[in-house]
Amino acid sequence: MSSQASAEKHAPAKAEPGKQARAVPKIEVSPEQIAYANLLLYCSWAGIGMLALTFLLYMSGLLTPFIPASEMPLYWSMNVHDFLAETGAPHGWGWLGMLGHGDYINLVGIAFLALLTIVGYLFLLLPAYLRKKDWAYTGIVVAEILILTLAASGVIAVGAH
């Protein structure tokens, strides 16, 4: 059995006075990995900022919610099926038609965060693996895009319990 890595724990050499510290070797990271990282960096915090803003709109009442926040305690202990039946709240992509309401506009930020992976796969990883003719990972990326799109589409539903 071979060892995983021949990394032994050495204490890094102390820089002698007057001499430059040893430079940290550059690790090669694939361009698509860097591009994907940048997508997540900027967009994830933008999404979280969006959530904070829309929540303020909701709580302040500047946008009238579909269900007043003060009435939520009547419903939030119900299971989701009873909640939808009692309130007439939308499911699937129905919330897109409710963006004028303070509670449902928050789903924009949530959907934005949930879409980032699909966007990264479709526009960054897939072209990169196609260019490299890395067919195994092209297949993996395509399969993942299909799985996530199926989940996002809402075509599959579940019955009440």
Partner 1 sequence: MLDGLILKASMLMEMANSSQAAATVAEASGTGFPWWVWPAMLLVTCFALGIMAVMAGVGGGVLFVPIVGSFFPFHLDFVRGAGLIVALAGALAAGPGLLKANLANLRLALPVALIASTFSIVGAFVGLALPADLLQIALGITISLIAVLFIFSKNSEFPKVGEQDGVTKALKIGGSYYEPSAGRPVDWTVWRTPQGFVLFIAIGLVAGMFGLGAGWANVPVLNLLMGAPLKIAVGSSKFLLSITDTSAAWVYLNQGAVLAIVAVPSVVGIMIGSLVGVKLLAGAKPKIVRTLVIVMLLFAGIRSLLKGLGY
In sequence order, the 6+-apart residues with CB closer than 8 A to the CB of 12 are 22
Both structure tokens of 108:
């924009």
What residues contact 117, with CB distance under 8 A and at least 6 apart? Answer: 148
Rule CB under 8 A: is residue 103 a binding residue for partner 1? yes
Give CA separation, 145 vs 38, 52, 124, 126, 152, in Å. 19, 28, 12, 9, 10
Contact call for residue 27 and partner 1 (CB under 8 A): yes
Cβ 120 to partner 1, closest distance in Å? 9
Residue of the chain from 98, 113, 122, 130 that contacts partner 1 (CB under 8 A): 113
Residue with tokens 């879409």: 115
- Provide the phi-psi class of 42: left if phi over 0, else alpha when psi is between -120 and 50, else beta: alpha
Note whether 127 binds partner 1 by CB under 8 A: no
Site for partner 1 in 37-66 (CB under 8 A): 37-38, 40-41, 43-45, 47-48, 51-52, 54-55, 58
- Does residue 96 belong to the site contacting partner 1 (CB under 8 A)? no
Among 19, 63, 76, 127, binds partner 1 (CB under 8 A): 76
Near partner 1 by CB under 8 A: residue from 15, 21, 96, 150: 150
Sign of the C-alpha dihedral, residues 33, 36, 42, 48?
negative
| Nearer to partner 1 among residue 83 and residue 130 (C-beta) | 83
137: contact with partner 1 by CB under 8 A: yes
Least separation in angstroms between residue 18's CB and partner 1 is: 20
Question: Of 78 and 97, which has the nearer Cβ to partner 1?
Answer: 78
d(CA 37, CA 43): 10
Place of tokens 């709580």: 59
Q: Figure out which of the listed residues 15, 21, 96, 143 binds partner 1, where binding follows CB under 8 A.
A: 143
